[in-house]
């Protein structure tokens, strides 16, 4: 289902493939944005099978299901990043285990700074992945 126009914090035009994004995933991302209280820029969302993958990307990514988003964090302070991690954890902790788990990956290197937020809509538990130099 496409990105709904009824979100509080995001507009469908902010996504590369709004027609492929999971409605439930984008609603959860919208909830994270509301609690976070600061702008969030989505740099990658749903991916099409066969398109060229970004460096280091998995061919089995939740992006292919429309259930993951990459967020620009290169200009965030450490406090903003910590607050974002806290908010994602808070949203994850409120989801019933049978409904969703949250995958949060923080990439922090000299060439790439982004957060990946993905949503499992099965019984997989939430997880945090840190990739830093």
Cross-strand pairs, 104: 117, 128
Cα–Cα distance between 66 and 20 in angstroms, integer? 6
pLDDT tens by residue, 53-95? 666 656 678 998 999 999 999 999 999 999 999 999 999 999 8
Cα–Cα distance between 27 and 110 in angstroms, integer? 32
User: Would you state the pLDDT for residue 27?
Assistant: 95
Domain ranges in the chain?
Answer: 12-132
- Mean pLDDT, range 41-46, rounded to an integer: 94
Q: Report the 10 Å Cβ neighbour count for 126.
A: 18
pTM, two decimal places? 0.90
12-132, CATH topology level: Muramoyl-pentapeptide Carboxypeptidase; domain 2 (3.30.1380)
Cα–Cα distance between 69 and 26 in angstroms, integer? 9
Burial of 17 (0-12, 13-18, 19+ CB in 10 A): middle
């Amino acid at each position: 289902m496409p990105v709904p126009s009824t979100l509080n914090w995001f507009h469908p035009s902010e996504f590369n493939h709004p027609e492929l994004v999971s409605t439930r995933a984008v609603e959860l991302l919208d909830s994270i944005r509301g609690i976070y209280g600061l702008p969030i820029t989505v740099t990658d969302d749903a991916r099409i099978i066969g398109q060229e993958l970004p460096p280091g990307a998995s061919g089995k990514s939740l992006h292919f299901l429309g259930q993951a988003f990459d967020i620009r964090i290169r200009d965030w302070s450490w406090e903003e990043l910590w607050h974002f991690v806290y908010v994602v954890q808070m949203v994850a902790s409120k989801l019933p285990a049978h409904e969703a788990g949250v995958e949060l990956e923080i990439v922090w290197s000299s060439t790439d700074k982004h957060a990946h937020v993905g949503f499992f809509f099965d019984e997989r538990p939430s997880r945090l992945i840190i990739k830093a130099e």
